[in-house]
Chains A and B, each alone.
Chain A
Amino acid sequence: MAAAARISWLTGKLARKHLFSCLQTNSVKLISSRASSSALVEEQPNFPGSRSKWTEKLDFVQPDLYDGIPVYRVMDRNGNVIDPASDPKLDEEMVVKMYQRMTLLNTMDRIMYESQRQGRISFYMTNYGEEGTHIGSAAALDDGDLVFGQYREAGVLMWRGFPLDRFMNQCYGNEGDRGKGRQMPIHYGSTEHNFVTISSPLATQMPQAVGCAYAFKRAQNGNCVICYFGEGTSSEGDAHAAFNFSATLECPVIFFCRNNGYAISTPTSEQYRGDGVAARGPAYGIATIRVDGNDVFAVYNVTKAARHITITENRPVLIEAMTYRIGHHSTSDDSSAYRSVDEVRHWDSTQHPIARLRAYMVTQGWWDEAKEKQWKDECKRQVMQSFARAERRQKPSWREMFTDVYDTMPSHIKEQYEYMLAHVEEYEDHYPVKNFVKEH
């Protein structure tokens, strides 16, 4: 025992001696290098995580450091172009198309909302007040740019020519629905229109859009990806993940935030405490801009510029479009429970995207009362006819409940399908079989 103790003491002594001599050598090295190196080594921090400057002043960066990222606009609240240089000077055909798509969407929304109230469809979400964000951005993109939406972007589909029938078919879940009746209304999708099928979970589309953009970058197909989301959704972890991945992996993706003031009943004051969503962009290394979402030309301009950055530089851009959700969150919501009717009325009557564009068109001499009445009647007629067609159609074969779980049907699902075939045959009277396409 004593020997062991003595050994360990000696070991310690030797170790300390060795350590001391190392320090002496190193300190000599340090002194000599200090003397010979440039002043630069002393002046800047060289941490791997950040190379910003030194400071001896203890100052927190407070959230109210600056006024907030300004809101880019082209038109004033009444539709008059402020700085002619910012007018994209789109031709009459284009501007009229923009107006018509916004109003057609608005008309479809009114009729479909009503149809839910009457029990004809199970659920609906309107786009009131946000038409400008859809049309302005969609018009600035290439038709081949893939869209990952949240749920309030029907105008993008409308712009790209998604027919009224297909909107209605999906809402009715009839045999014309390419989604095969699997999802609730407004969960649209279309390969021809490059619009990925909507899913209910929020923000999940965001990192997916980034991954898709990465694949596009590698494929060099000349397209970007646009990802729409609301300001409420931006609180989700997936949003953080998406921003960070898009910047670190250098992806050609446009993040388009529709900041409409509410996430169901939750106002922005309860959603975030910083300068909205836009302030987060630079923190992730993303080029960012804030825009008046109710100014179609402003939205058009920023989206066009954003697209150019993503395509030519393969890096992400964040657009925060400020707007207002005039309608309820959905048919399951009554927003008078949490906001004043006056507030809603204000936004419905001032700085409305449709009214402002109409004012611009009238100024150009491209629109008048007669055309307005004619178009309004035409919208209504188109929507009502499409609606009637969709309502009449049968639902898809209920056997479609069992397909597309995998690319091919595995045996265990096949067994369940066969079981149900036999069951429905025996208990046919208790199932709404006559509403569904009969397969033999």
Chain B
Amino acid sequence: MRQLLKASVFKKLLRPTLGSPSLLSRHSSHFTFYPDTVPESQGETVRLNLFQSINNALDTALATDNSALIFGEDVGFGGVFRCTIGLQDKYGKDRVFNTPLCEQGIAGFAIGVAVGGATAIAEMQFADYIFPAFDQIVNEAAKYRYRSGNLFDCGKLTFRAPCGAVGHGALYHSQSPEAYFAHTPGLKIVVPRGPIKAKGLLLSCIRDQNPCIFLEPKVLYRSAVEMVPTRDYIMPLSSADILAEGDDVTLVGWGTQVHVLREVAELAQQQLNVTCEVIDLVTILPWDQQTVFNSVKKTGRLLIAHEAPVTNGFGAEIAAAVQSECFLHLEAPVERVCGFDTPFPHIFEPFYLPDKWRCLSAVKKLINY
């Protein structure tokens, strides 16, 4: 009888058998994280995951700019993803504070803060919920400087939002909305691939004199860990990174997808004896056309991959620009491996994502064209 009361016994009863569907799909991820490293010349580093490096960047922003404010839903206690943990205690409730639950209000308020001369760092709890703020972002923030003849601007404004697939997010906790905003001149859109880039890029966005949208791939918050420089540093926007050099195929992606593509490059080398040039676009708008064009002119083959649905996703813009600029260099049509033209599904996520097998298959197609 006493045996039955042990907690370990209950646990054994509850544990699913190995290989059962629920265990596999809930715990396996579609990518392997490839950490960046920095040379020793960058100084002291500390082991941080993505939400910690973002927290560090926000801490640095508030420490170096007395006007900087952080606000949004639930940021006070640390935020639903812990990105703002400890900041209210450190900087006070007048600088780090909760707003009512209203994205259009957060966006409008943020614009006003910037117009009033303070630095606004506004959080949207999920990128999926940024749409009530679309009018303020597109019709107001993006156009403030232009429409006023540069009399007024809201340059000191950054929106942050968690985006992308997380394994179980479904329709409303997985979206990548970059394409909607990329269609709006006046905005800057940035997507980090890891903690080191995130800190530098976020600080760049906060200090940039244009309204920026910083999309943080939420699946990387805990799983992406790197040795991040402790010092205050920025990284250039609109400058794509070549992460692996190659001669046969150019692979372009951003955020989580960069890690998928890095693995695809390895598989292509092993299985097809093909070298791939892997490019992290880093900034969606304005995007670094030159780096992509130079690479495609070298390889003649381009694969663009993103989680957002294929039709009118940002891959379409890159493909159109590449075929216009690099037409005679192309050995094959530009391939896009993306989410399907469906809302982001729950249980079908493994089938939805532009995973390494779909990407590898596309590389084969490019090579064999």
**CB within 8 Å of B: which residues of A?**
4, 7, 10-11, 14, 146, 148, 177-183, 187, 189-191, 196-197, 199, 201, 204, 206-216, 218-219, 225, 237-238, 240-242, 244-245, 248-249, 403-407, 410-413
Contact = CB atoms under 8 A, between A and B. Distances in A.
A208 B114 CA distance: 9
Contacts of B210: 406-407
Contact of A238 (B108, B110, B114): B108
B289 A411 contact: yes
Contact of A407 (B1, B148, B153, B286): B153
Interface in B205-243: 209-210, 238
Contacts of B185: 405, 413
Given A208-B112, A406-B210, A199 B139 contact: yes
B129 interface: no
Contacts of A182: 146-149
Given A179-B147, A208-B112, 18 more contacts: A180-B149, A197-B149, A207-B104, A207-B109, A207-B136, A208-B109, A209-B112, A210-B108, A210-B112, A211-B111, A212-B115, A214-B109, A214-B116, A215-B117, A215-B118, A219-B117, A241-B109, A242-B105
Residue with the greatest number of chain B CB neighbours at <10 A, chosen from A208, A245, A404, A410: A208
Nearest to B209: A407
A411 B283 CA distance: 14
Contact of B105 (A219, A241, A413): A241
Interface in B97-151: 97, 99-100, 102, 104-105, 107-118, 120, 132, 135-136, 139-140, 143, 145-151
B94 interface: yes
Nearest to B98: A248
A237 B132 contact: yes
A239 to B, nearest CB: 10
Nearest to B143: A199
Nearest to B145: A404
B108 A211 contact: yes
B152 A218 contact: no
A3 B13 CA distance: 12
Nearest to B289: A412
Nearest to A217: B94
B151 A178 contact: yes
A207 B289 contact: no
A233 to B, nearest CB: 13
B46 interface: no
Contacts of A244: 100, 102, 105
Contact of A211 (B113, B135, B145, B287): B113
Contact of A178 (B1, B69, B109, B149): B149
B151 A179 contact: yes
Interface in B278-299: 286-287, 289-290
B177 interface: no
B148 A215 contact: no
B112 A215 contact: yes
A178 B151 CA distance: 8
A422 B94 CA distance: 53
13 contacts: A7-B13, A177-B149, A191-B152, A196-B115, A204-B140, A207-B107, A210-B112, A241-B105, A241-B108, A242-B108, A248-B100, A406-B210, A412-B289
Nearest to B150: A404
A216 B1 CA distance: 70
B24 interface: no
Interface string B137-179: 0011001011111111101000000000000000000000000
Task: List the 6 closest pairs (A to B, CB-CB), nearest first.
Answer: A211-B112, A207-B108, A215-B116, A241-B105, A208-B112, A212-B116
Given A207-B109, A208-B111, A238-B104, A191 B140 contact: no
A65 B298 CA distance: 77
A197 B152 contact: yes
Given A189-B148, A201-B135, A405-B186, A212 B112 contact: yes
